[in-house]
Amino acid sequence: MGLFDFIKKKPGEAGVPTPPAGAVPAADPTTAGAEPSGAASSAPPQFVEVQDGFGRRMRMSREDYRKKHLPELLKQHGSDAERLTAVILQGLRDGFAEDLVAAANRLTIVDKEPERALSVLAVVQRDAGDLDGSAATLQELLAKRPQSPGARVGLALLADQRGDAARAEALLREALAIDPNHADAVHGLLAIRHRTVGEAGYRAELEALAALGGWRGKLWLARWLLQNGEGATAAPIYREVLSGEDVESDALVMAGADLVQAGQHELVQELVVPRFVPGRHHPHIGLAILHHYLQTEQHVPGSELLHQMYLHYGHLVAEALHPFTAGFDRQRLATLPPPAPMPASPRLGLYRFDRPLWCAGLADPLWLLPPKTNDARQVLCFALAVEGQQQLPAGQEDEIGRVTRAVPLFLAEHVWLSTPHRGTAGLLMAEQGGWVVLGKVWPEEQLVAQLSAEEKERTIAVSGVLRIDGDKRRIDLWAYDCNTQQRVGHAAAEGAPGELGRMLLQLLAELWPALGGPAGHQPPVGSEGSWQAYADGLAQHAALVATQAGGMPKERLYGERYILQWLQNTALLEPRWQPGFWLLASAMCVLRGLGSPVPKEFARAVAEIFRQSPPNSAFARLGVLPLRAAGLDGVWQARRAEIVQANSGDANFTAWLARAEAAR
């Protein structure tokens, strides 16, 4: 593997190879005819991407990264040669060579392998502008390792940068005589020869390189043949290179990408798929196979591989993996029989959520709920009707549907948490399964008719409508005392599609006096943006809960990975709102109950949340269940005694824990 390839890896990725001396992260060696490393690079980006403990990618200004983050990383790993190498190479990729000179010099002291240490130092010196120092370091490496191909490559790149192409070519050929598969020697020689002979003579150069016996030269020739319509000539070369018992990861990376791009799916299935081992090989191989499965509509092995990719590489290539979830879901759903057509007068049912949604899947944690008196009333919040559906632009139907469910779920949860009453959300479902959105508000008399006589006496019904007029939306809510059969309150809010959070806060403030809460009530924490995200997450999780309860066909469930990611991001967006973390834990447990493997992909995040949670916190006490869903029973056991001791005075929790641990 060339140094360029290694630099693309993040610090912490397993397997730190010895970088070839003198190579720099300036040119992509997978591009035929690319200029050798050392060509002028563009200005570095203004921000640097880092990861936090939850695996989230975050942007930091270059100056903050240079002054704060990078020095801390270098200090933290200053005595670990492999980790220090990884941090230095990442810093080189981000353009901080001048800040890495001292660390690279330290590496030559702590690293017992001079090939790696001196190679890294030479690269740092070169990128920092000290060409003479880089040459001296490479000469030192040659003195210590006379057969080092990397030292020759580094000196060749220096020579080429100084305009001595003949000297550079001679050094690169020396390197290839020692190691015909040296990545940067192959790439550098091809770049120089392409400049010399042009396209007309390039095939002969590739054939000469392949004749040296290395697999890398053969794959470059095979790539050229594919690109020039000679797939039949290329196929035997791929079979020769990839049919050995110990095929290098680099070979699979290059071959997999080339074959998928050329549409050679039979060769991908024959040569690449059986050899890829997630967690052992480079993730780009898995990405190529995922493209292969998607293009050939093999959603079953595709979904299985996608899960393995998230488990092993999700923190590295999550953005590249993201589209495959929807792609394989679409293919799977397309294989199912079409749902039965909705009758002209469908039978509807009211699906009720009698407790906050985060109670689902968590073994009924009543100790999370504020105590209520025996005479506490019920506030039954119904799904919104929608007026103006016919005016909706294409693509907004799902988002509008979520709003109709998010509002009652949000209201019912806050009734539980901030009024003397119990909150219930009532969502409409068709008998055949699936949510229903009405075009007009149900008359309150019909709502009351759904209740028993005893329930009418203690219920306040909240119904409402979402009116849509172009890019304007208005939500009206009415509180209706089912016992006196009179309206007791009204609230309204208007806004644009992205202002649901602000509208929810306004609705709470106006409606709460009618529901036994304080006038002008607002949640203790949270912004308009965080409440919009949280409400959307409630609506998404409701589909999981309803499916687990049999209200929707399990085989038609899709997007569960997106739901968990949304809930994780929402919880971290406003960490002071602890129910956000409970909602994530609930979704993980519900999905585990549905037989989904997806919760295990969130092991890193849930373990970090658990680690940061004090032993008497709600999430620490809940931890046994989401950790089990993520396959992390050992993490729970390591803190179990501490958590049990910290909560020994809570009999309700003790009983819940026994019940939760007994359930499997």
Average pLDDT over residues 571-593: 97
- pLDDT of residue 612 exceeding 70, the answer is yes
Tally of domains in the chain: 2
Between 229 and 664, name the one with better pLDDT.
229
Give residue 127's Cα distance to chain centre: 33
- pLDDT of residue 171 exceeding 50, the answer is yes
Q: Tell me what pLDDT residue 341 has.
A: 76
Average pLDDT over residues 289-318: 96
Give a yes or no: residue 176 inside a domain.
yes
Which of 552, 587, 603 lies at the terminal end of a domain, its last residue? 552
Give CA–CA dist 79/107, Å, rounded. 8
Secondary structure of 170-236 in HEC code, one letter for each residue = HHHHHHHHHCCCCHHHHHHHHHHHHHHHCCCCHHHHHHHHHHCCCHHHHHHHHHHHHHCCCHHHHHH
- pLDDT of residue 194 exceeding 70, the answer is yes
Ramachandran sector of residue 167 (left: φ over 0; alpha: ψ -120 to 50; beta: rest): alpha
Range of the domain at 367: 348-552
Give a yes or no: residue 239 inside a domain.
no
Give a yes or no: residue 289 inside a domain.
no
10: pLDDT confidence band, cut at 50, 70 and 90? very low
Give residue 591's Cα distance to chain centre: 17
Give CA–CA dist 597/588, Å, rounded. 10
Which of 529, 552, 575 lies at the terminal end of a domain, its last residue? 552
DSSP codes joined into one string, 587-598: HHHHHHHTT-SG
Give a yes or no: residue 569 inside a domain.
no
345: pLDDT confidence band, cut at 50, 70 and 90? confident
Token couple for 475: 């939500």
Which tens digits make up the pLDDT trace of 123-132? Answer: 999 999 999 9
Give a yes or no: residue 299 inside a domain.
no
Give a yes or no: residue 573 inside a domain.
no
- Helix (H) or strand (E) holding 60, with range, is strand 57-61
Task: Give the closest residue to 355 by CA, choosing from 22, 579, 71.
Answer: 579
Task: Give the closest residue to 73 by CA, choosing from 4, 11, 8.
Answer: 11
Q: How many helices (H) and strands (E) does the chain have?
A: 29, 9
Give a yes or no: residue 138 inside a domain.
yes
- Helix (H) or strand (E) holding 463, with range, is strand 459-469
Range in 3-17, 281-295, 614-628 with the lowest mean pLDDT: 3-17
Which tens digits make up the pLDDT trace of 230-273? Answer: 999 999 999 999 988 788 999 999 999 999 999 999 999 999 99
Average pLDDT over residues 371-398: 85
67: pLDDT confidence band, cut at 50, 70 and 90? confident
Give a yes or no: residue 334 inside a domain.
no
17: pLDDT confidence band, cut at 50, 70 and 90? very low
Query: What's the pTM?
Result: 0.86
Give CA–CA dist 311/434, Å, rounded. 31
Q: What is the dihedral of CA 220, 225, 226, 230, to 10 degrees?
A: -160
Q: Tell me what pLDDT residue 25 has.
A: 26
Which of 505, 529, 552 lies at the terminal end of a domain, its last residue? 552
- CATH code for the domain of 433: 3.40.50.10070
Average pLDDT over residues 386-395: 71
- CATH code for the domain of 121: 1.25.40.10
Amino acid at 248: E
Instruction: Report the chain's mean pLDDT, rounded to a whole number.
Output: 89
Which tens digits make up the pLDDT trace of 84-114? Answer: 999 999 899 888 999 999 999 999 999 998 8
Which tens digits make up the pLDDT trace of 492-551? Answer: 999 998 999 999 999 999 999 999 888 899 999 999 999 999 999 999 999 999 999 988
Q: Rounded to a whole number, what is the largest CA-CA distance in the chain?
A: 97
